[in-house]
Amino acid sequence: MEQFDQSLESLIHSAGWLAPFLFILLHVLRPILFLPVIVVCIAGGVLFGFFEGAILSFVGLSLMTLISYILVNKFPKFRHKMSRLKKKLFQDRTISVSQVMILRIMPFVHFHLLSLYLMESTKSFREYMNYSVLGVILPAVVYTAFGQIITELSWISTALLFLALALIYSLAGKLNKARLHSRTLDSNR
């Protein structure tokens, strides 16, 4: 990780005014390079500072949601692969849009898989992009600002943080079920 940061830092400094574009490109190429979102966002905070790093990470992650949409809709094999992964990890569980947004904060959850959930939960490309863009704001800010702190937390603190996120995720699911149930009751009347 430290060597990656140093290599990236020297590349960014030598790039000059192209550095922000290269960083956004890094976000787009991140899945191919097998880099976790959190690593790239932390690097953005180190290289560009909190504000610019968060904005550049937001733009990069937003582009990734667009690319996810294109990949899923233009390449049936990719969609099939994501659908198999979805079934394997989540069985036939329905996940609400708010739960997808919470899962976006968790660094170990597959980015394209969450994009697939959003595609299946929304009615149009525009609605998908609106939710996707809203869903990447928090990870871009949290990882850029607190990414280094999160990686330096003790394992107990990290476990408590993920437990809190899991609790919020569970509550969002229960609220979504209650909302769907009340809609069903209202439509039956």
- pLDDT confidence bin for 120, thresholds 50/70/90: confident
Percent of the chain at pLDDT exceeding 90: 19
Mean pLDDT of 114-118: 84
Alpha-carbon gap, residue 93 to 70, rounded angstroms: 24
What's the confidence (pLDDT) of residue 56? 94
Phi-psi region of 34 (alpha: psi -120 to 50; beta: other; left: phi over 0): left
**How many domains does one find in the chain?**
1
Question: Using one digit for the tens of pLDDT, what is the confidence trace for 44-91?
Answer: 887 888 888 899 999 999 999 999 899 888 998 988 888 888 788 777
> Which tens digit of pLDDT belongs to each residue from 154-164?
878 878 877 88
Q: Are 107 and 37 in contact (CB under 8 A)?
A: yes
Instruction: State the residue for tokens 């809190």.
Output: 164
Of 31, 17, 32, 33, the C-alpha closest to 7 is 33
Radius of gyration (C-alpha) of the chain in whole angstroms: 18
- Rounded-to-integer distance, Cα 7 and Cα 106, Å: 26
CB 40 within 8 A of CB 26: yes
d(CA 144, CA 15): 21
In this structure, the number of other CB atoms found within 10 A of the CB of residue 5 comes to: 15
Task: Specify the length of the chain in residues.
Answer: 189
Classify residue 32 by its DSSP letter: T
pTM value is 0.71
Q: Which domain holds residue 172?
A: 2-188
